């Protein structure tokens, strides 16, 4: 054998060690938010409105209050499972409930918060507002802070990203986009 003989690399697999760190909760799929969402979804599905569900309705006087009322009344689009639709409506209402005052105080408008591409079948993220970003994100995400020029979001494992303002003049509010192609 020569000095430079080929020796195949065979990885040595070590047994998995259980992590001592607690799992990071999604913030939606686990815990109190999931329970509240379940009650909200059940109330919508049964056609009844509880006081808790009504309390999530937009605060009066905000630029998007009437639009959120309209969104809540829209039927689910034919192409979207009911649970996914309920999650979109829930996300929109929760943004207003938890951060609406800060968003208005810092000058965020309807399209920046609730904007959507007019054609919902087109994947145009540049026209989507904050609500559609939070709704469509594949992992844990929540609003950390609202500033005048940006919104700081906390994503997987505590990482933060800054979502900045930019021109969304070609967008429409989400309730208009889904009303155009909504339900049966």
Segments of the chain scoring below 50 in pLDDT: 7, 9-28, 50-56, 183-184
All structural domains of the chain with their residue ranges: 32-44+51-180
Q: What is the 3-state secondary structure (H, E, C) of the chain?
A: CCCCCCCCCCCCCCCCCCCCCCCCCCCCCCCHHHHHHHHHHHHHHHCCCCHHHHHCCCCCCCCCHHHHHHHHHCCCCCCCCHHHHHHHHHHHHHHHHHHHHHHHHCCCCHHHHHEECCCCCCCCHHHCCHHHHHHHCCCCCEEEEECCCEEEEECHHHCEEEEECCCCCCCEEHHHHHHHCCCC
What is the model's pLDDT at position 175? 93
What is the model's pLDDT at position 113? 94
What is the model's pLDDT at position 77? 86
What is the model's pLDDT at position 20? 41
What is the model's pLDDT at position 148? 94
What is the model's pLDDT at position 156? 81
pLDDT digits (tens, 9 = 90+) for 89-112: 999 999 998 899 999 999 999 999
Tell me the Ramachandran region of residue 36: left when phi exceeds 0, alpha when psi lies from -120 to 50, beta otherwise.
Answer: alpha
What is the model's pLDDT at position 88? 92
User: pTM of the full predicted structure?
Assistant: 0.69
Q: Distance between CA atoms of 125 and 157, rounded to whole angstroms?
A: 24
């Amino acid at each position: 054998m020569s000095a430079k003989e080929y020796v195949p690399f065979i990885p040595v697999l070590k047994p998995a060690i259980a992590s001592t760190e607690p799992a990071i909760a999604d913030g939606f799929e686990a815990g109190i938010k999931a329970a509240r969402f379940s009650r909200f979804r059940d109330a919508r599905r049964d056609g009844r409105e509880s006081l808790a569900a009504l309390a999530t309705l937009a605060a009066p006087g905000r630029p998007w209050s009437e639009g959120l009322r309209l969104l809540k009344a829209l039927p689910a689009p034919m192409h979207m499972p009911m649970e996914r639709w309920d999650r979109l409506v829930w996300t929109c209402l929760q943004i207003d409930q938890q951060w609406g005052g800060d968003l208005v105080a810092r000058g965020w408008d309807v399209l920046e918060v609730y904007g959507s591409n007019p054609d919902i079948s087109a994947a145009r993220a540049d026209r989507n507002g904050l609500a559609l970003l939070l709704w469509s994100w594949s992992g844990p995400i929540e609003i950390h802070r609202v500033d005048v020029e940006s919104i700081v979001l906390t994503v997987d494992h505590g990482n933060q990203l800054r979502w900045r303002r930019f021109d969304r003049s070609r967008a429409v509010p989400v309730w208009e986009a889904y009303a155009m192609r909504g339900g049966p």
